[in-house]
Chain A
Amino acid sequence: MNLLWGLLTGIVFGFLLQKGRVLRYEKQLGALRLQDMTIIKFMMSGILVGMVGIYALTGFGQDVLNLKATILGANLIGGLLFGIGWGLYGLCPGTAIGALGEGRWHALFGIVGMWVGAALFATLYPWLTETVMTWGDYGKITLPDILGLNPWIVIAVMLVGVVALFRWFEKVRL
């Protein structure tokens, strides 16, 4: 049953990714070259809606949060390495699979690369867990936690800020 939900969720996700046209190399590089903000609009819209809904669920007493640990070394160095690869490949793990679905079979080269990257990570894992993955380990924390604010204040500020960003994108036609 769980697997069936996964399949359904994936079909809707893939459908929306394709309709939003974010599966394209052109759209991803367009954002990184600051020429076309389609993927930012798509992603941030999803985040704004999701954020309100997720925190509403927690407000109704459902303990739904499933946070990833904040480890400065791992998040920042890993994040930068991902970014380097993303700039070269022009697709991310989820969109690579979707790109394949709409016929962009050049995504395969990077998919094979990602398997190699995963194997490389598995090889270096014992060393990484003793070094980079211990640097600045703060555990599972949220922005409202470290700011000492009610989550809804943070959500309100993000809503206003991101909508202002969207308005600016439309004004300068990005």
Chain B
Amino acid sequence: MRKFDDGGWNPYVAGALVGVLAILSVGLTGQFLGASTTFVRMAAAIEQVVMPARVEANEYYQRVAPRFDWQAMVLIGVLLGAALAAWHDRSFKCEAVPPMWAERFGPNIWKRGAVAFVGGIFAMFGARLADGCPSGHGLSGLMQLSVSGFLSLAGFFIGGLVVANLVYRRNA
């Protein structure tokens, strides 16, 4: 069934090393991995340019202000680290539409883009409501045995399983 295998590392080993990274990060700096809060800060930073009054008046943007913090640096690092790894084994590829999507729904960039855009809206709204994404709730939450992590992760997978199988149902 592993149709798209492509010369990566053993996922158990790569994943276990992420566990080691998380322990080091928590032990040395007290920081748990996460990603979605930074998207709020980015949205706030963009809105600050377009409509600063709204950011000023918004309770949530006052709590999650548009500032540059540890997690923002992590995301810049992720961008660089992924590029480095892709360059290292020559798996970097400029890809306009994911192959699995193209095989089923064709190579139209805008059709794929529209679905991804709507998906992104739901994903981030949900992540902020749940107070975390697969990094913050999934990795960091479960490794602390947090009840919120288990509940949120169950939600992620139930929602994802249903929608993914609807999107790729036969005769679609």
Chain A interface residues (CB < 8 Å from chain B): 2-27, 29-30, 32-36, 38-39, 41-51, 53-55, 57, 62, 64-72, 74-107, 109-123, 125-126, 128, 132-133, 138, 140-146, 151, 154-155, 166, 173-174
The residue among A12, A62, A75, A151 with the most chain B CB atoms within 10 A of its own CB is A75
* Contact between B117 and A112, CB atoms less than 8 A apart: yes
Given known contacts A5-B70, A78-B155, A114-B124, A102 and B77 CB-to-CB distance under 8 angstroms: no
Interface size on B, residues (CB 8 A): 132
A2 to chain B, nearest CB (A): 5
Contact partner of B120 (CB less than 8 A), chosen from A33, A113, A132, is: A113
Interface of A is mostly: helix
The closest CB in chain A to the CB of B32 belongs to A66
Interface contact tally, CB-CB below 8 A:
540
- The listed residue with most A CB atoms (<10 A of its CB), out of B9, B71, B144, B165, is B144
Q: Which residues of A contact B126 (CB under 8 A)?
A: 77-85, 117
**Chain A: minimal CB distance from B124 (Å):** 3
Return B68 CB to nearest CB of chain A, in Å: 7
**Most B C-beta atoms less than 10 A away, residue of A62, A109, A122, A155:** A122
Given known pairs A88-B163, A121-B40, A126-B59, the reply for A110 and B91 (CB within 8 Å) is no
If the complex has contacts A54-B144, A78-B127, A83-B159, are A106 and B80 also in contact, measured as CB distance less than 8 A?
no
- Shortest distance from the beta carbon of B41 to any chain A beta carbon, whole Å: 9
Measured between alpha carbons, how far is A25 from B105 in the docked complex, in Å? 14
Give the chain B neighbours of A64 by CB distance below 8 A.
26-27, 30
Chain A contacts of B116 at CB under 8 A?
88-91, 106-107, 109-110, 113
